[in-house]
Amino acid sequence: MRRTLTSCLAGLALGLLSAPALAADFAGKTITLLVPFPTGGGVDLWARFNGPLLSKHLPGKPTVIVKNSPGGGSTSGANLFTVTAKPDGLTLLASSASTQFPYLLGDPRVKYEYKDWRAVLAGPTGGAAYVSSKFGAKSIRDHEKLKGVELFYASPGPTALELTSLLGFRLLGLNVNHIFGIVGRAEALLGFERGEFTIDSQTTTAYLRRSAGLVEQGDAAPLFSWGILDRNGKLARDPNFPNLPHIAEAFEIVHGKPPSGIEWDAFMAFLVSGFPAQKLLVLPKGTSDDILETYRAAVRNLLKDPDYLSKRDEIIGEYEQVTDAEAEKLYKDGTTISPAARAWVREFLEETYQVKFE
């Protein structure tokens, strides 16, 4: 009898060790989704779209509130998250490329560490660049017609999201004068339509809604898309722009060889952060596997929800949000840069645009 009882207890212990972790239950809880930007912006809209759906699919249907904490280009809110968020599943951060770029650049304002956080959801996007048709170029294959031409591009500043365009245009050998102080791509597009700027890049949603009309009218010529990442992490053509070369293909058209080298490596770090991994939903350091899995399971259900599917394209655009291993890979790729690539881009920005990293 003693041997039987011992065997039963041993079997029970083994069963407990091998059983999957129980899902966290948030019944009666309030979850704070911290948005380090003002209300009304892209990340705020994205968070307010996903928040109620998370509430619907998390165990216990907790209340999810969005709290805006702007400042420092989003670094202030991210720093606050690092200091105050507990690993109990009750606080999330909506990170975006504006939060990731200062981290990649080694901005001294950054007190957060992406390696400490846990990725719940990734929200990719895409985009395309185009040039005024007055120069006679109809595609990137006509790059010779742009040689020596000074092009004007609207940008908030050299370390903003438009850093991807700044580096990308340079890689293609385009002579682009970046006009800083222009806030938002919508304002840049208006300036392009008025002829104040002669080269532009828009996210896919804005391009398809407005820029495509300029192409159809003959006022603009598409050059390339920024591309997407395939399952192997390689650049591939964006399905929204199947006839446009992606940036690596454009480079090969211009230079006759595939891109490589430290400048390309630096560019790719910001490209992935700015497009395929543009928006991230994260839990704080120390969050347990069962809480993480509870959130990821909620996202898996969210992505099939009719309420989500009916509004997805209007709110978040043409790219599917992802979770699990796919989100984990985008999260890692979008927040990683080699020391050599970081040193190169910092030196370039310091020497060319007098950016100070102190």
User: Is 304 among the domain residues?
Assistant: yes
CA angle (238, 242, 247) in 5-degree steps: 55
- CATH label of the domain that carries residue 206: 3.40.190.10
Q: 57-85 pLDDT, tens per residue? A: 999 999 999 999 999 889 999 999 999 99
Over range 224-229, report the average pLDDT. 96
Parent domain of 236: 127-274
Tell me the C-alpha distance between 176 and 252, whole Å: 19
Statement to judge: residues 241 and 334 lie in one domain: no
Half-sphere exposure of 10 (CA within 13 A, CB side): 6
Q: Which residue has the higher pLDDT, 45 or 3?
A: 45
The alpha-helical segments, DSSP class H, found in the chain are: 2-18, 42-57, 75-84, 97-105, 163-171, 185-193, 204-206, 212-217, 247-255, 262-274, 289-302, 306-316, 324-334, 339-353
Both ends of the chain: CA-CA distance in Å? 73
Give the pLDDT of residue 306: 96
Number of domains in the chain: 2
Radius of gyration of the chain (CA): 23
Please report whether residue 357 resides in a domain.
Answer: no
- Looking at the fold, whether 145 and 224 belong to one and the same domain comes out as yes
Looking at residue 357, its pLDDT comes to 87
Condensed to tens digits (0 to 9), the pLDDT of residues 310-350 reads 998 888 877 899 999 999 999 999 999 999 999 999 999 99
Final residue in a domain of this structure, among 221, 251, 274 = 274
Question: Sorting pLDDT into bands at 50, 70 and 90, what band is 22?
Answer: low
User: Residue 281, Cα to own-chain centre: how many angstroms?
Assistant: 10
For the residues of 12-43, what is the DSSP string, one character each? HHHHHHHSPPPPP--TT-EEEEEESS-TTSHH
Question: What pLDDT was estimated at residue 174?
Answer: 98
Q: Is residue 348 part of a domain?
A: no
Residue 350 inside a domain? The answer is no
**Residues 57, 118: contact at Cβ < 8 Å?**
no
CA 24 to chain centre: 28
